C-alpha cells in the first residue's frame, strides 16, 4: 500500500516537470490496478485548492472527485494520528504540520509515503519514496 502526497497529484496533472511523467505513470498504474494507493481527504482538498488557483474551480473540483474515486477508500485522520503528527512536527523542523500528520497516517497504515517533498526523508520510521523515474519504477517493480 502506498499513500500519495499532494505533490504526486499536482505533478500528474501539471505542466512539464521532471516529476510529471513518473507521477502520471504511477496514477495510471493505480487506475490499471497494478498497484494499490490511497490518500486522505485533506490531500484531495489541498490538491483542489492548488489546482483552482491555476485552472478554475470546476476543473479542480472535477479532478478532485476523480482522484477521490480512484484512491478510495481514503484514509481518515483520527485524533491519535494528529497527536503523533504533532509530535513529529515538534521534533523534525524540516517537516510542516500538514505533512507530519500525513506521515503519521501513512505510518499507521503501514504504507509507503510517496511525495516530491524530500523533507519526509527526515522523519524516522517513515518509508518515503520520491516520485522520480527511479522511485516510481521501484514501486512498480520495473527496475
Tell me the domains of the chain and their CATH numbers.
2-137 (3.40.50.1010)
Summarised one tens digit per residue, pLDDT across range 35-60 is: 999 999 999 999 999 999 999 999 99
pLDDT bucket at 142, cuts 50 / 70 / 90: confident
Per the annotation, where are the binding residues? 5, 99
**pLDDT tens digits, residue range 54-112?**
999 999 999 999 999 999 999 999 999 999 999 999 999 999 999 999 999 999 999 99
**Residue 143 above 80 pLDDT?**
no
51 and 60 in contact (C-beta within 8 Å)?
yes
Give yes or no for a contact between 135 and 129, defined as CB atoms under 8 angstroms apart.
Answer: yes
Beta bridge partners of residue 128, listed in sequence order: 113
> Residues marked as binding for Mg(2+)?
5, 99
DSSP the chain: -EEE-HHHHHHHHSSS-TTHHHHHHHHHHHHTTSS-EE--HHHHHHHHHHHHHHH-HHHHHHHHHHHHHHTPSPP---HHHHHHHHHHHHH-TTS-HHHHHHHHHHHHTTPEEE-S-GGGGGSTT--EE--SHHHHHHHHT--
Q: 126, exposed or middle or buried, with CB in 10 Å at 0-12, 13-18, 19+? A: buried
Amino acid at each position: 500500500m502506498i499513500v500519495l502526497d499532494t505533490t504526486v497529484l499536482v505533478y500528474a496533472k501539471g505542466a512539464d516537470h521532471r516529476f510529471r511523467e513518473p507521477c502520471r505513470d504511477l496514477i495510471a498504474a493505480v487506475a490499471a490496478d497494478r498497484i494499490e494507493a490511497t490518500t486522505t481527504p485533506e490531500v484531495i482538498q489541498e490538491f483542489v485548492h492548488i489546482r483552482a488557483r491555476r485552472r478554475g474551480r470546476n476543473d479542480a473540483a472535477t479532478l478532485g472527485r476523480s482522484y477521490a474515486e480512484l484512491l478510495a477508500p481514503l484514509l481518515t485522520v483520527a485524533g491519535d494520528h494528529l497527536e503523533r503528527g504533532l509530535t513529529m512536527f515538534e521534533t523534525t523542523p524540516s517537516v510542516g504540520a500538514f505533512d507530519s500528520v500525513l506521515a503519521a497516517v501513512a505510518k499507521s497504515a503501514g504504507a509507503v509515503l510517496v511525495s516530491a517533498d524530500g523533507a519526509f526523508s527526515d522523519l524516522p520510521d517513515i518509508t518515503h519514496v520520491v516520485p522520480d523515474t527511479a522511485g516510481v519504477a521501484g514501486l512498480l517493480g520495473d527496475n
